[in-house]
Amino acid sequence: MLCTLTTNNLAMINDEVSAGNYEHVRWTYTPVFLDNADMEIQVASYDLVPDAPQSKDFRIVGSDVHDEYCEYITSVGERPNSAKVLAFIEQHPASVVSLYAANKLLMGGYNLSSDYIQTLKRTITGCPKDTARYSEFLRRAELAEKTAVGNSIVDLDLVTPDGTRCQLADIVGAHKGHYLLIDFWASWCGICRAGTPKIKDVFARIPRQQFEVISVSADEKDDAWRTAMEKDQMPWQQYCLTPQGAKDFYEKYQTIGVPYYLVVSPDGHVIANPDGTEAACQMIDSLVQHQEEVATGAGL
């Protein structure tokens, strides 16, 4: 299991802290892939403990799994992409760390192609050291197949502000012919609501025949949802997940919460799951601009 080794020097500088001097307080957060092995920390001084699984002055020895995790971090860097992760997995097809990395990739929904998911399944054929994590991988891969980029939307149960039950797939189907941004949000999500003005800006600039937005709330409390809608004044259609819809959203879309954005093509297929409001708005601008350039070229 990936854990965090947390240390501090408060006991070492207790007199300074007692006097109100916090200048030399130091905390560290070191990722450690804990294994069923005798693991030993090797470091000459507390001041050399890093916020990383290893350094030239710090090592955790005794575990092949932690060694592979260190190799993984070195291979993929601070911002891993799917190509780098796959390259590591192909070199370590039966590794616990490969399964850990694959399961992280499969979370989030609509962020991988079907070909990529199939490659993962062909590459990782088992892990004797961690059968539980391998079972999780098979389950996540099956769900990810349904939310592969380019597929139709996975349906969810919704309710309108007037209490009418409806289905997300039907709503998406009614918006064919233009790009659609699906904004999953909640009244309690500050990040979601901070991004709303950016979506409003794009919504105001692009004609409705080219682009539309719908918002789907993950609120459990009806009053909170309605109060937030009234305050934020979003000029597009609003929906809320039913209890079953919320269960399906978190499970089938393999997400842990909101904000969550989907961009749908004019023919009703999911193009992408952008990472944040800014990325979603930039993608919409780019897609519409390309559409206009193609139309202008066709006209010529």
Distance (Å, rounded) from C-alpha 102 to C-alpha 89? Answer: 8
Average pLDDT over residues 290-299: 77
Contacts (Cβ under 8 Å, ≥6 apart) of 243:
220
pLDDT in tens, 126-137: 999 899 999 999
The domain limits of the chain are 2-71, 80-146, 157-299
Average pLDDT over residues 276-299: 87
**Predicted TM-score (pTM) of this structure:** 0.84
Element at 287 (helix H, strand E):
helix 277-299
User: Would you say how long the chain is, in residues?
Assistant: 300
Residue 300 has pLDDT above 50, yes or no: no
Start-to-end CA distance of the chain, whole Å, equals 60
CATH topology for 157-299 is Glutaredoxin (3.40.30)
Type of residue numbered 184: F
Type of residue numbered 247: K
What integer pLDDT is reported at residue 108 of this predicted model? 80
DSSP 132-145: HHHHHHHHHHHHHH
Distance (Å, rounded) from C-alpha 240 to C-alpha 259? Answer: 14
Q: Are 53 and 60 in contact (CB under 8 A)?
A: yes
Distance (Å, rounded) from C-alpha 293 to C-alpha 31? Answer: 48
pLDDT in tens, 215-229: 999 999 999 999 999
pLDDT in tens, 3-39: 999 999 999 899 998 999 998 999 999 999 999 999 9
Average pLDDT over residues 92-114: 92
Q: What are residue 98's phi and psi, to 5 degrees?
A: -60, -40
11-50 residues labelled b (16+ CB within 10 A) or e (exposed): eebeeebeeeeeeeeeebebbbbebeeeeeeeeeeeeebe
Q: Are 167 and 157 in contact (CB under 8 A)?
A: yes
Average pLDDT over residues 158-162: 97
Which residue blocks in 79-236 are alpha helix, DSSP H? Answer: 82-91, 96-106, 114-123, 131-146, 168-174, 190-205, 222-232
Residue 100 has pLDDT above 70, yes or no: yes
Q: Are 216 and 239 in contact (CB under 8 A)?
A: yes
